[in-house]
């Protein structure tokens, strides 16, 4: 009875989510960072409402980027998760199913972080964050972020200098998608209609990242 690709993805996704919920350390780190970052910026930027709306985009994506980076670094350094990953490597599961399972688990956690941050910042910054276009930008941007993050976590899972290396590599790699997200979400804060080019650019970047990482991941996991 061979396990199907979708079953394998769901198996890894379920395991990763249960692991994160039970161990909690990673979730604590990213949500605590989101709270602290939001409050620090909220007190630091005592600006007028109009200006706040524009600043909040930068604060929002800074919060998501660095909270996620902390989460990926924590994920890569968890001994129990790494040992389990070795056993999963030995199992006859399609490599891409392992990747997509981990990717989906990371994406779901990032989406929870997005929702949490939106709740915090929409109140404190009086910004228009409950906007359909804003959520579209967040979904597409976070997909790109976790695609790179999941790949780098696998790549550096056995390197002890991971903390520095992850930041050095992730930030330049995520920069194009991050800048697109910032411009897109900034456009959602104005009264003008959002141009479709931003959506197309984000979708294109996500597709390129998914294709590249899907090709790269099987090579990374096997040494």
Partner 1 sequence: MIRQILGKGRRAPLSVASENDGLQEDVGRTQPSATDALPLIRLQQLTKRFGWIPALQDVSCELHGGQIVAILGANGSGKSTLLKLCAGLLRPSEGNIQVAGWQLPKEAAQVRAHIGYAGHEIFLDESFTIQENLSFFAHCYGSAGKLRVDHSLGRLGLAKFAELAVRQLSRGRQQLVDIARATLHGPELLLLDEPLNHLDVVAEDVVVQMMKDARDSGSLILWVTHESSRVAAIADRVLLLHAGRLVVDEAGQVAETDWPATLKATLCQEMMNRSA
Residues that bind partner 1 (CB under 8 A): 1-3, 7-8, 11, 15, 18-19, 22-23, 80-81, 83-84, 86-93, 222-223
- The minimum distance between CB 102 and partner 1, in angstroms, equals 14
Write down the least CB distance from residue 119 to partner 1, Å: 28
CA–CA gap between residue 64 and residue 44 (Å, rounded): 18
Q: DSSP per residue over 25-85, as a string?
A: HHHHHHHHHHHHHHHHHHHH----HHHHHHHHHHHHHHHHHHHHHHHHHHHHH-HHHHHHH
Specify the residue, 84 or 169, whose C-beta has the smaller distance to partner 1: 84
Closer residue to partner 1, CB minimum distance, 2 or 49: 2
Query: Rounded to the nearest 5 degrees, what angle is found at the Cα of 118, between the Cα atoms of 68 and 73?
Result: 5
Least distance between partner 1 and beta carbon 82 (Å): 9
Contact by Cβ (8 Å): 49, 126: yes
Nearer to partner 1, 191 or 223 (CB): 223
Please name the residue that has the structure tokens 């906007």. 131
Q: Are 9 and 100 in contact (CB under 8 A)?
A: yes
Sign of the dihedral through C-alpha 87, 89, 90, 93: positive
Closer by beta carbon to partner 1, 11 or else 182: 11
* Smallest gap from residue 4 Cβ to partner 1 (A): 9
Q: Which is nearer to partner 1, 55 or 221 (CB)?
A: 221
Q: Is the dihedral of CA 40, 128, 62, 73 positive or negative?
A: positive
- In this complex, which beta carbon is closest to partner 1, that of residue 46 or of residue 222? 222
CB of 89 to partner 1, least distance (A): 7
Minimum separation from the CB atom of position 154 to partner 1 (A): 15
Indicate the angle between helix axes 49-77 and 25-44, nearest 10 degrees.
160
């Amino acid at each position: 009875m061979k396990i199907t690709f979708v079953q394998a993805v769901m198996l890894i996704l379920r395991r990763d989510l249960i692991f994160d919920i039970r161990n909690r350390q990673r979730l604590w780190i990213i949500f605590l960072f989101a709270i602290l970052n939001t409050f620090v910026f909220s007190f630091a930027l005592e600006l007028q409402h109009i200006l706040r709306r524009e600043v909040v985009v930068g604060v929002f994506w800074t919060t998501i980027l660095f909270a996620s980076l902390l989460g990926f670094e924590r994920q890569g350094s968890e001994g129990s998760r790494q040992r389990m990953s070795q056993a999963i490597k030995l199992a006859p599961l399609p490599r891409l199913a392992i990747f997509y399972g981990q990717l989906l688990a990371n994406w779901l956690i990032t989406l929870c972080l997005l929702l949490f941050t939106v709740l915090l910042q929409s109140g404190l910054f009086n910004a228009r964050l409950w906007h359909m276009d804003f959520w579209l930008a967040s979904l597409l941007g976070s997909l790109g972020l976790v695609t790179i993050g999941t790949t780098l976590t696998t790549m550096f899972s056995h390197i002890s200098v991971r903390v520095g290396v992850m930041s050095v590599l992730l930030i330049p790699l995520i920069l194009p998608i991050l800048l697109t997200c910032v411009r897109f979400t900034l456009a959602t804060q104005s009264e003008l209609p959002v141009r479709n080019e931003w959506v197309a650019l984000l979708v294109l970047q996500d597709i390129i990242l998914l294709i590249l990482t899907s090709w790269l991941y099987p090579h990374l996991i096997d040494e």
